[in-house]
Amino acid sequence: MRTDLTRHRYWVAVVAVLAAECALLLWNVWHYDWLRGYDAYANDQYASTVGDEHRLPSADESGVWHTPPLWFAVAGLLRRAAIDHGWGLPQRPGQLVAAAAGLAVCALVLLLARELWPERRLLHLVALVVAAASPALVRASAMYHPETLAVALAASGVLVAVHALRTRWTVLSSLGAGALLGLAGLTRAWALPVIAAVVVAVGIDALTRGRWIPVAVVSATALVVLGPWLVNEQRAHGSALAFNRPAPAGSVLTRRPVSFFLGPRSLRALEHPVTPLFRNELVPHLYADWWGDWALTWDSPPPPAPGQLLPSRVVAERARQAVVGLLPTVLALAGIVAVALVAVGRRSTATGLLPLTALAVGAAYILFTVVYPSTDGDTIKGTYLLMALPAASIGLAFVVDSLRPRTRACDLAIGAALLLFVAVQVPFLVL
């Protein structure tokens, strides 16, 4: 017997999930010490320089001078306003921007799923819940950091592109996709592989339709928005993609040991997923940080000094997160592959865009971590891969929805599994 969620229940569930996510992210903003977020002090130096002096910081003034300026401009202006009006903590508006963007990412995942498979309501809900309960997204949404804004802008651009690829490109959709993607690139460099993926997808679409104007307009618009920043970086720092440390000399192939690629201590990620274990082993380090908090910047004391012990609660909570993440990780990987197969099999560039973004972001990320190795592992962070969250959560939902028996009992079981997935994580996600 085929079952489907009724329209009414579907919208009740959507609103409930988004409202709960909004409450969660706001609560966390108010309970998270902004200084514990990644690069928090350097971010504040950057934001104050842009907000107060209306210029970019030098390399001496902020350790994140290499990051594009959009979020810093917004956070800096709000910071100035907060100080002028005595709103209390001047960094809080910047955190609220990150939280609003985190909520927007969840909504965009839902819209992307609806755009690709309009009739599959369970798929939409599974994707929404998985995205909303992703620890990396929840943590990034509480930080004084540009990551979530970049993801929201990039996902918006991808949504416009997917819609146009499914229907037809107009001048407005071409300009819109290009502008949103350009703004994403103006927020965080991790949007660049997403831009590349969209341009490739639109190019493949142009090959079949014989219309090249959308490719030109999307690319040109993104370049117009992003170009000045890249030119500034090239002129001021010698590279459009400058980073805050020079890459070491020598071959890229020798910059990381074999253990970086193989992750030999992966099993320990399920039992003790915190620093300093398996530092700089890509897979376990990234996995532990996505589902938990490898570097101990969330609800924990700072990393202990040598010889000191962490409270056992801290390790146990993160170990539980690591175990909870196993099945979703397998399903998300499967989903990205499955959606790619469907796209190739049906020659659908709209369907293929999401797995293409995941592939591009993953490849760019690995290249980055290899080109810029670090001894303390600070270039390996789960939040750096948030650009792949829409592809991962929608892919997971696609697998679940495609393989489920069409019975009411199965639908209820999936609902119960989602509730359990969220409930088990609540102690970690809520500060």
Region near other proteins per CB under 8 A, out of 79-87, 126-134, 392-400, 418-426: 392-400
- For other proteins, what does the binding mask look like between residues 340 and 379, x meaning CB under 8 A? -xx--xx---------------------------------
8 A C-beta contact, residue 201 and residue 163: no
Its sign, for the CA torsion 327, 332, 334, 335, is: positive
Find the farthest-apart pair of alpha carbons in the chain and give their distance in angstroms, rounded.
66
Residue in 191, 331, 358, 429 binding other proteins, rule: CB under 8 A? 331
8 A C-beta contact, residue 379 and residue 369: yes
Q: Which is nearer to other proteins, 379 or 402 (CB)?
A: 402
Residue 207 lies near other proteins (rule: CB under 8 A): no
- How far apart CA 268 and CA 274 sit, in angstroms, is 10
Question: Whole-number minimum distance, CB 67 to other proteins, in Å?
Answer: 32
* Identity of residue 18: L
Question: Whole-number minimum distance, CB 262 to other proteins, in Å?
Answer: 5
Number of residues that bind other proteins (CB under 8 A): 36
Question: Whole-number minimum distance, CB 314 to other proteins, in Å?
Answer: 11
CA 279 to chain centre: 21
Residue in 334, 414, 417, 431 binding other proteins, rule: CB under 8 A? 334
Kindly list the distances between the CA atom of residue 122 and the CA atoms of 156, 365, 413, in Å, as whole numbers in the listed order: 22, 31, 12
Question: Whole-number minimum distance, CB 403 to other proteins, in Å?
Answer: 5
Q: Which of residues 223-252 bind other proteins (CB under 8 A)?
A: none
Question: Whole-number minimum distance, CB 271 to other proteins, in Å?
Answer: 11
8 A C-beta contact, residue 123 and residue 397: yes
- How far apart CA 392 and CA 113 sit, in angstroms, is 11
- How far apart CA 45 and CA 65 sit, in angstroms, is 9
- How far apart CA 228 and CA 216 sit, in angstroms, is 18
Kindly list the distances between the CA atom of residue 268 and the CA atoms of 67, 265, 291, 316, 319, in Å, as whole numbers in the listed order: 33, 6, 14, 13, 9
Residue linked to tokens 């040598």: 306
Question: Whole-number minimum distance, CB 299 to other proteins, in Å?
Answer: 17
Residue in 98, 111, 336, 394 binding other proteins, rule: CB under 8 A? 336
Question: Whole-number minimum distance, CB 200 to other proteins, in Å?
Answer: 21
Q: Which is nearer to other proteins, 139 or 285 (CB)?
A: 285
Residue linked to tokens 């939040």: 383
Q: Which of residues 106-165 bind other proteins (CB under 8 A)?
A: none
Region near other proteins per CB under 8 A, out of 3-11, 141-149, 367-375, 391-399: 391-399
- For other proteins, what does the binding mask look like between residues 258 and 297, x meaning CB under 8 A? ----xxxxxx---------------xx-------------
Question: Whole-number minimum distance, CB 253 to other proteins, in Å?
Answer: 20
Residue in 41, 232, 402, 415 binding other proteins, rule: CB under 8 A? 402
8 A C-beta contact, residue 72 and residue 144: no
Residue in 22, 26, 42, 333 binding other proteins, rule: CB under 8 A? 333
Provide DSSP, 283-333.
HHHHHHHHHS-TT--SSSPPPPPTT----HHHHHHHHHHHHHTHHHHHHHH
- How far apart CA 205 and CA 198 sit, in angstroms, is 10
Q: Which is nearer to other proteins, 251 or 308 (CB)?
A: 308
Question: Whole-number minimum distance, CB 1 to other proteins, in Å?
Answer: 17
Residue linked to tokens 């400058």: 242
With 0-12 / 13-18 / 19 or more C-beta atoms within 10 angstroms meaning exposed / middle / buried, residue 294 is buried
Question: Whole-number minimum distance, CB 307 to other proteins, in Å?
Answer: 3
Chain residues binding other proteins by CB under 8 A are: 262-267, 283-284, 304-309, 311-312, 329-331, 333-339, 341-342, 345-346, 395, 398-399, 401-403
